[in-house]
Structure 1
């Protein structure tokens, strides 16, 4: 069990580091904020005895002088704290960039930051990360994938002004590399790359959006396709749910297509649940999972890992609909009716007891409830 201390823990990559630590069953990382970094004594206290210090905080966009100075100043602040630490971290890891030393203010400042930390820790683990994509990235900032996903989720079309080759790693793989997590089916610290042209990426995400608008699952032939689809889905939640299903009725009864999956079967199962009973209370890192209430009434509750707000959906077998669980959101389903609840579940992969991609955690905290419009 590794004790982490992390700078930049509230950002895109930092959040994924915290989620992965939760999935591994490690203690929640000690968070070192920008205010903390201004006080070397405070930094020394926070990193005291940590197994691994991961420096993610940085300045990626803005005035060139602010970018250049910001990255170096953050490294200097952390270095001052390291020098004061009586029991320093077992290892220090820097989330660097493949752009380090490329002659730009950003690239040169990242190289300088690495050199600053290496003066204090010659054993610095300097990880040069490629561009990252993944769930809940920041659109219109430094992620083309997040920007395309945001536009498509809002019903707009992505525009391609310059088609070039992209080399992208999924952010969970990068998090695994930074914290030294062993490889599993849901993450790979080797950071296998998704190579795609900008136009090709836009077309693939547009195809996902077109299929998923009616609840259809597009072809997901490999791990990057699954993770790219999960990235798109993260921008659809919660405003696009529940997804209403078409009911076809005649004298014989009703027919409802709960899952239409192209290019893969996955696994379908159902459960019965007694009144007042809750199922679930876990999250997934990569699995696509669908809930469809067939009979009875229920409440589906979800909370993003590391956050407090709970999103709740009231669903019933009287009105066919599905709710797909976004990755890295804790979820459950509770029978709210007087009779037995019958729920159909579908996942994109067959359950593997040796690698279930299921991590226990309760949804409800002392949180305010968000009810989607």
Structure 2
């Protein structure tokens, strides 16, 4: 049987540090980042471009869900007026400048910002970025449902000057496909290729930028997963973790990436809590371990789409109502009973009783709780919990008839 000493040594090695003290400090920082690091996504585009639907899709919400971004063609605006003297007359330029922040419903550290389109070529891109406070965002999504315009290009150039990343997203591809599929000789791949070429032609001033074709109502189709992969490659590691957790599960591959992310963080969660057991204060190790276990497994639960809202949306999409009731594993039941939507380390530290039921599910663990949980017990519980939640998510995808790894 593995000893606590060998388990700790393995965790220290996984940390890349030379001593337990350094590894523990890194573990606490890594675990805190996993749950709390901020990610701010800016989505810009004009009214009718599909921004609201895209924002809702990223947050895993339907249009009629509470807190969803309102969709439609109307827009409430704050009007900014500037006057420029051109020749013998004054040119009055109006620009909508309303900015709306949407928090991720289960991961409040991830925020999506709905920015207005630049509106007019007379309204300079640098001035626009000043108004929207571009430094606050990790990257920009420049979204359009038709051709990208001169305004989009100007904005992209200015974002590039400011050394920020941007991504051109062509939305409402499902509408284009429906319009074309009635025609004789319809070929979906040909249609997609023509749309992509047309977009790139309009953006030739930018070189050869990638253009991602997406449907907010069919994330498993077209380029949504390619967009995710691109963002992962270009984000810093700690921001990548936030993206992976919050990004919707759109394929078996994306689910497996999430599972791997959490597997790679078990050493940090275990080490961050395990050393507390040596402190001779009754209840301290239990409280701290409980907070970390609950925070870690609850984040898995939401990230894998096992919460009621995600399952309800999936069941409606594939027309299989029974999917809403499939998440019945022992760990899902425990988390569902005790977890809150907003999971944070600080909030969960005081929830000593919240994970006691989880311990009762595992043989030989109950006595460890009474004495103060050890590092090896915490790690065992995290591994078993992650395995249980991952298998539940895979089984639900299989039952839904979706692709499996």
TM-score, length of structure 1 as denominator length: 0.34
Bigger relative contact order, structure 1 or 2 (CA pairs below 8 A, ≥6 apart): 2
Select the structure that is richer in helix.
2
| Largest Rg, 1 or 2 | 2
